[in-house]
Amino acid sequence: MKAFQFNEKESQITDEKVFWNRRDFIQKAGIFVGSGLISANVLGQSENEEGTKQDKLIKQKKAQLLTNQISGKDLKSELTSEYAVTHHNNFYEFSLDKKEPSELAKNFNPDLSWQVKIGGEVEKSGIYTLEDILKRVSQEERIYRLRCVEAWSMVVPWYGFQLGHLIAALKPNSNARYVEFKTLHDSKQFPGQKRGTFGSFSLPWPYTEGLTIAEAMNPLTFMATGVYGKSLPGQNGAPLRLVVPWKYGFKSIKSIVAINFTKEQPVSTWNQRLPQEYGFYANVNPDVDHPRWSQASERRITNESFWGVKKIKTLMFNGYGDLVGNLYKGLDLKKNY
Amino acid sequence: MFPIQLLPHILSLLPLAWLIFAIFNQMLGADPQEKLMSDLGFWGMTILFVSLSMRPFSILSRYLSAFRRISWLKFRRPFGLYSAFYLFIHFICYLLFILQFDWGELTNEIIERPYITVGFIGLIGMIPLVLTSTKSMQRIMGRKWQKLHKLVFIIMGLSLIHFIWQSKSDLNLATGYVIWALALVLIRLANSKIIKSAEGTFRT
């Protein structure tokens, strides 16, 4: 399969139909690969287990449901409009406003030569270009819910690769308990990183995020290079961003230039800035309110029209509990928010 | 010459005109309801601050002959009423778009969310000021009117806390408003001191 197109003009050549067909193929392939993986890893059941035909059918159906959750194909009818996805972005490196990043990112067009430094407790450390990385993984589309800690949400068609596949190729050693990510720190390209008169009210740069290795290896955890059939626009975190759909949006770090495998829990920028309000885990949880506002419901942005928002109940783990719930067994989610 | 008494009306209606225009031209971003609500609150607070700036303007105009003839104090009433108008539609937008008329949630939110509590108290505080804003009420109430309308300084403080508290972390604009509020209070205090010391010199 051809690598994802980054040049704006080139991506216009790949017309939408071709893109969707390609995706359908990948989805079908994904189900085949995915169901084996899920029944083994996620459900924790051994393949040898004896069962009646009915049991097998139920198991198969469950696995099918989980594969659908991973690909997100059931969410296809709920997609948030492309305009809303690309014009409602919390990307403080550009601006504290949500609409301004779409204007300020016009000249931020990184290409395949974008460099990512991989280090820490890992065998294949070094500096990789995005091109190098994309050679080692296969890309596919995933439709995920995105729930912001500010209580708005979207459904986004990402394009990219499963982070676990990259990690497997990089071969972290047994000391690697966490994965740390960093956003580019360059105030020439990111005006929001300039220290102005009131600069102290922004964030400490570079933006840093982290996951446990188990979270990073979960089949849902995704690295996006594209959205809505196009390469990622600057405001959505071009050219490479994390997508962790069961966590609040701020965990899904944008424009990544470093991935480190660490022994110790990495810093999470928002946790560092306001530790009482934003935790390291930041799992979507309707029962644990933000100290200043409720997380029980959310404003689902379907499109940018005046009546394009609907209020819905927030789901535990943003609706991905079947796939990630086992990661937090025995963990007090009220304390580890 | 430009009828200067129209100034508060024109200035106060500009943000609303812009917001209406922006709604119809989809210029309020991807969550226009939320933007409309927060902008109305922001302008309600700003117009309140403008209203409270009229006294300092008239004080400072003593030293600036060009502005001495403007009767700043007359602008306080229209600005104050427009501020209340914005804050009430701000609250209606909150009920309509954020709560979607879930009354049970409203009571919860008012009790549990300090920034909503603070905003709500400020809004309730506006009601007696609006009801007693007429000249006849001013005459009837006499000295009590002055006392009652001191409430506006508490409302200013509450609106500022509400503004700071609802933000995720962006305090840039809020800092400007804190400085503005401090200036409003300090100019008044300095002025009353000058007047008192002037009275003192007369007596001796």
Answer with the residue of higher pLDDT: A280 or A12: A280
* pLDDT at residue B201, rounded to an integer: 63
Q: What pLDDT is stored for residue A200 in this prediction?
A: 56
CB A289 within 8 A of CB A295: yes
Supply the ipTM of this predicted assembly.
Answer: 0.83
pLDDT value of position B195: 80
pLDDT tops 80 at residue A213: yes
Reported confidence tier of residue B113, pLDDT bands at 50, 70, 90:
confident
- Burial, B191: exposed, middle or buried (Cβ in 10 Å; 0-12, 13-18, 19+)? middle
Helices and strands: H and E segment counts in chain B: 10, 0
* Bond from prior residue into A204 cis (ω within 30 degrees of 0): no
Per-residue confidence (pLDDT) for residue A6, from 0 to 100:
42
Q: B162 near B118, Cβ under 8 Å?
A: yes
Residue B115 one-letter amino acid: Y
Buried b (16+ CB within 10 A) or exposed e, A246-274: bbbbbbbbbbbbbbbbbeeebebbbbeee
Bridge partners of residue A162, in order along the sequence: A222
pLDDT digits (tens, 9 = 90+) for A14-43: 444 334 344 444 444 444 444 444 444 444
pLDDT at A210: 98
DSSP letter for B94, please.
Answer: I
Q: Which residue has the higher pLDDT, A194 or A155?
A: A155
**What was the pLDDT predicted at A11?**
42
Q: How far is CA A30 from the centre of its chain?
A: 18
Chain A hits for B165, Cβ within 8 Å = 292
Interchain CB distance below 8 Å, A292 and B165: yes
User: Cβ contacts (< 8 Å) between A298 and chain B: which residues?
Assistant: none
Other CB atoms within 10 A of residue A91 CB: 25
Mean pLDDT within A59-77? 92
pLDDT number for residue A1: 38
- pLDDT for B1: 65
A84-96, pLDDT tens digit by residue? 999 999 999 998 8
B35-60 pLDDT, tens digit per residue, is 999 999 999 999 999 999 999 999 98
Sort strands A222-227 and A230-231 into parallel, antiparallel or unpaired: antiparallel
**Shortest CB distance from B113 goes to which of A96, A99, A293?**
A293
pLDDT reading at B24 higher than 50: yes
Is pLDDT above 60 for A194?
Answer: yes
Q: Report pLDDT for A50.
A: 59
What domains sit in chain A, N to C, each tagged with a CATH number?
Answer: 19-71 (no CATH), 79-328 (3.90.420.10)
Show residues of chain A in contact with B169, CB under 8 Å: 201-203, 273-274
| Phi and psi based region of residue A192 (left: phi greater than 0; alpha: psi -120 to 50; beta: remaining) | alpha
pLDDT of residue A17: 39
Pairing state of beta strands A208-212 and A222-227? unpaired
Where on the phi/psi map is residue A130: left (φ > 0), alpha (ψ -120 to 50), or beta?
A: alpha
User: Cα-atom radius of gyration of chain A, to the nearest Å?
Assistant: 20
Per residue in A151-188, pLDDT tens?
A: 999 999 999 999 999 999 999 999 999 999 999 999 99
Q: Other CB atoms closer than 10 Å to residue A205's CB: what's the count?
A: 20
Interface probe, candidates B165, B169, B178, chain A, greatest A C-beta count within 10 A: B169
Question: Measured between alpha carbons, how far is residue A103 from residues A98, A131, B137 in Å?
Answer: 10, 27, 51
Q: Is the pLDDT of residue B15 over 70?
A: yes
Interface of A with B in 131-160 (CB under 8 A): 149-150, 152
Summarised one tens digit per residue, pLDDT across range B140-190 is 998 999 999 999 999 999 999 999 988 766 777 888 999 999 999 999 999
Chain A contact for B197 (CB, 8 A cutoff): no
* A332 alpha carbon, distance to own chain's centre: 24
The most distant pair of C-alpha atoms in chain B lies apart, rounded to whole Å, by 67
Among A116-120, A330-334, B61-65, B152-156, which stretch is predicted with the lowest mean pLDDT?
Answer: B61-65
For A157, the enclosing helix (H) or strand (E) is strand A152-162
How far is it, in rounded angstroms, from Cα B47 to Cα B81? 9
The beta-carbon neighbor of A96 closest among B112, B115, B170 is: B170
Q: How confident is the model at residue B202 (pLDDT cuts 50, 70, 90)?
A: low
